[in-house]
Amino acid sequence: MNTKQDIAYKNAQIRVQKLKKFYSHLVTYLVINVFISFIRIFEDVNNGSLLTDALLDSNNYSIWFYWGIGLALHALSVFGIPMLISKDWEQRKIRQFMEEETNNKIK
pLDDT by residue (tens digit) across 37-57?
999 999 999 989 899 898 888
Instruction: Give a yes or no: residue 24 inside a domain.
Output: yes
Instruction: Give a yes or no: residue 105 inside a domain.
Output: no
Low-confidence spans in the chain with pLDDT less than 70 = 1-2, 81-87, 105-107
Residue 86 CA from chain centroid, whole number? 13
Instruction: Give a yes or no: residue 101 inside a domain.
Output: no
Give me the pLDDT at residue 92, please: 80
Task: Report the domain count for the chain.
Answer: 1
Instruction: Give a yes or no: residue 62 inside a domain.
Output: yes
Instruction: Give a yes or no: residue 52 inside a domain.
Output: yes
Instruction: Give a yes or no: residue 8 inside a domain.
Output: yes
Instruction: Give a yes or no: residue 76 inside a domain.
Output: yes
- What is the percent of the chain with per-residue pLDDT over 70, rounded to a whole number? 89
Give me the pLDDT at residue 87, please: 65
In terms of residue numbers, what domain contains 46?
4-82
pTM: 0.66
- Element holding 19 (H helix, E strand): helix 4-46
